[in-house]
Amino acid sequence: MTRREQLQEQYEDALFALLMDDLAWQEGERLLEENERLKNDPGAAVPEDAMKRCLRVIDREFARKNALKAGRISWNVFKRIAIAACVSMLLFSAAFAASETVRVNTLNLLIDVCDRYTDYRFGGGTDTADTTGFSGFEVEWLPEGMTLTDQNIKSGNLCYVRKTYRGPNGEYLNIILDTLGEAGVLSVNTEDAAVEDITVNGWDASLITTDVLQVVIPFPETTQILIVTFSTEDMLPDREVFLRIVEGISLY
C-alpha cells in the first residue's frame, strides 16, 4: 500500500468517525427529549398491575431460557421498562463505584429467581462483615388480640430466633431471624406470586404476595435474613396492617 493510499484510508476512517459522532449526539439529544416527554405525559405511565405482570413474565421466560414468548409483551411497555432499567443501571453503577458499602453488600448477597421459588444466599467477601450480627428482635405493635404462642431460639454458628403469634380471628404471624452464614441458603416459595421491592426502616426488602403476605429482609453485613409471614383463615391479610407489623419489628 502506497503512502497516498494509507493517507486516504486514514482520512476515510476519520471522516466516518466524525459522522458517527455527530449521529450519536443527535440521537442522544432526541432520546433525552423523548424521555422528558414521556416523564411529563401522564398517559405514558405504565399501570402498576401491568408492570408487575410484565416483570413476572420476563423473569419466568429468562429462567426457562426461552426468549420467544417474551414477544407477547407490548413493545411500547417493554421500551419504557427498558428505559427505566437503563437509568436504574446507570445510577446503581455510580453508587457501586463510589460506595464501599454498596460494593460489599452487592457482592455478598446472591438472589436466584426460579419458576417456583427464590433462593437467597450470601457469597464471598464477608471478611468485613459484623460477625456478631443481631441476636434477637422485639415486635412493638400487633393487632388487638394477637399473642405469642410459640418461641424457639437456637444458638451456635448458624443460629436463629423464631416467634409465632396467633389472633382470635385465625390470624397467624411467624417471624424468623435466621443466620445463614456463607454456606446457608434460604428458599422462599414465589410460584404465582407478586414480588415487590420495598424498603422497611431503611432496609431493602422483598414483599411476596400469594394467599399469604411475606416480607424477606436480607442483611449482607451479618449474613442474616429476617422472614415475616402473615396469614388469615378466610381472606388475604390486610397489607397495611402487615406492613405496620413489619415496620414495628426492632432488631437488637
Q: What pLDDT, on a 0 to 100 scale, did the predictor assign at position 40?
A: 77
Average per-residue pLDDT for the chain: 76
Confidence of residue 227 (pLDDT cuts 50, 70, 90): very high
N-term to C-term CA, the chain: 76
Question: Higher pLDDT residue, 99 or 196?
Answer: 196
Task: Tell me what the mean pLDDT of segment 195-214 comes to.
Answer: 94
Q: What pLDDT, on a 0 to 100 scale, did the predictor assign at position 79?
A: 47
Residue 68 above 90 pLDDT?
Answer: no
Question: Higher pLDDT residue, 149 or 114?
Answer: 149
Q: What pLDDT, on a 0 to 100 scale, did the predictor assign at position 114?
A: 77
Q: Give tens-digit pLDDT for 82-130.
A: 444 444 444 444 444 444 444 444 446 777 777 788 888 887 554 444 4
Residue 135 above 70 pLDDT?
Answer: yes
Distance of CA 51 to the CA centre of its chain: 14
DSSP three-state, residue 172: strand
Q: What pLDDT, on a 0 to 100 scale, did the predictor assign at position 127?
A: 44
Q: Give tens-digit pLDDT for 37-50.
A: 777 777 666 666 66
Q: What pLDDT, on a 0 to 100 scale, did the predictor assign at position 161?
A: 95
Q: Are strands 117-122 and 109-113 parallel, antiparallel or unpaired?
A: antiparallel
State the Cα–Cα distance between residues 246 and 24, nearest whole angstrom.
48
Q: What pLDDT, on a 0 to 100 scale, did the predictor assign at position 97?
A: 43
State the Cα–Cα distance between residues 199 and 15, nearest whole angstrom.
51
Task: Tell me what the mean pLDDT of segment 193-207 comes to.
Answer: 94
Is the pTM value of this prediction over 0.95? no
Comparing CA positions, the residue from 161, 131, 139 lying closest to residue 223 is 131
CB distance 165 to 148 below 8 Å: yes
Q: What percent of the chain has pLDDT over 90?
A: 34
C-alpha cell at 76: 411500547
State the Cα–Cα distance between residues 53 and 150, nearest whole angstrom.
37
Distant-in-sequence, close-in-space partners of 217: CB < 8 Å, separation ≥ 6: 200, 203, 204, 205, 225, 226, 227, 228
The DSSP 8-state label assigned to residue 71 in this structure reads G
Sign for the CA dihedral angle at 231, 232, 236, 240 comes to: negative
Distant-in-sequence, close-in-space partners of 133: CB < 8 Å, separation ≥ 6: 179, 219, 222, 223, 224
Distant-in-sequence, close-in-space partners of 180: CB < 8 Å, separation ≥ 6: 120, 121, 122, 158, 186, 223, 224, 225
